[in-house]
Amino acid sequence: MDEREARPRARAIIWLEWGAAVLLLVGVAAYVVWKPLDPMADPHAAQALALVQIHPARGAPTIRQAIDAVVKGNRKGDRTPMVGDWTVRADERNGYLVRVVVRLPGDEKHRWVEWDYLWRVRLSPQTVIPLSRPAVDVMP
């Protein structure tokens, strides 16, 4: 008998392969169900995002420019701060939650600080309410 002939695989290996495939499919399904709302697919979500980004800020004409100034002011040598994606989710209270996470270099070489900016937006009447401490700090 040639050693290169295919040997039957152990039942445990087959179960592990199927388990990995099922976990992958469940993960993809969970992401599709719970992912943030695409602001361009819903005109109201896009309006909520725009209201936050162009809202007047403390020390800058708009909130978006204030966050960009925070990022620019926190550059440290070879470590560059990062602004995450702006996300919009529908809120239970007939509004939207707008979030952006900013990652800044910490005082130590391998430390980072993440600031979570979060606002509740109502479209009628148009209001932008800061819900996190960093969001409060950039509001006028």
C-alpha–C-alpha distance, residues 43 and 103, integer Å:
29
User: Between vectors from CA 28 to CA 26 and to CA 29, what angle results, nearest 5°?
Assistant: 65
Confidence of residue 3 (pLDDT cuts 50, 70, 90): low
Q: Are 67 and 85 in contact (CB under 8 A)?
A: no
Across the range 7-26, mean pLDDT stands at 89
pLDDT averaged over the chain?
A: 87
C-beta pairs of 75-80 under 8 Å, 24+ apart in sequence: 75/105, 76/105, 79/105, 80/105
With a threshold of 0.75, does the pTM exceed it?
A: no
Dist. CA 67–CA 19, nearest whole Å: 43
| Residue range 84-101: mean pLDDT, rounded | 90
